[in-house]
Amino acid sequence: MTGLDLILGLDCLSKNHVLLDCSEKSVYFMPKESKGPVVANRYYLNSMIVNCSRYECQGIMLLTAGVSGDDQSLEQIPVVCEFPEMFLDDIDEFPPNRELEFAIEMVLGAGPISSVPYRMSPLEMAKLKAQLEDLIGKRFIWPSVSP
């Protein structure tokens, strides 16, 4: 979907001060607290759902739109404006893949705490082992490198 599709009841539109501009394919939200209209014709989110479940609500609103790369520039993103030194103007290539190496330095002479292992039935142990192997295979977790 590359446009704007909207289904709302007339009561909901008038109650929330919404103006539809069919020729421009845009929706103008006119909140009372705001100085100007909020125009919904380009999106930074892929979809936005507003659901009213109270008894006085007259409809459900679903706005969806496809976002192309030309719709948003770096200057429009607030985080980029706040930290310009973190975001380079030109990126030549992706960063190289690096192995994750993490270790906790222990105090000299310290060793792992010995505790009685949690007792499991052989069936539970087999299920746990299968889950752990699956997570390791998907690289969600890594095997321990503790001594």
pLDDT in tens, 120-135: 899 999 999 999 999 9
pTM of the predicted model over 0.75: no
Q: Would you state the structure tokens that stand for residue 47, as one six-digit string? A: 């979809």
pLDDT of residue 129: 93
Instruction: Note the Cα 6 to chain centre separation in Å.
Output: 23
pLDDT in tens, 13-39: 777 777 777 777 677 777 666 666 666
Using CA atoms, how far apart are residues 1 and 50, in angstroms rounded to an integer?
19
Q: Would you state the structure tokens that stand for residue 107, as one six-digit string? A: 């105090």
Using CA atoms, how far apart are residues 142 and 132, in angstroms rounded to an integer?
9
**In this model, does residue 109 exceed pLDDT 60?**
yes
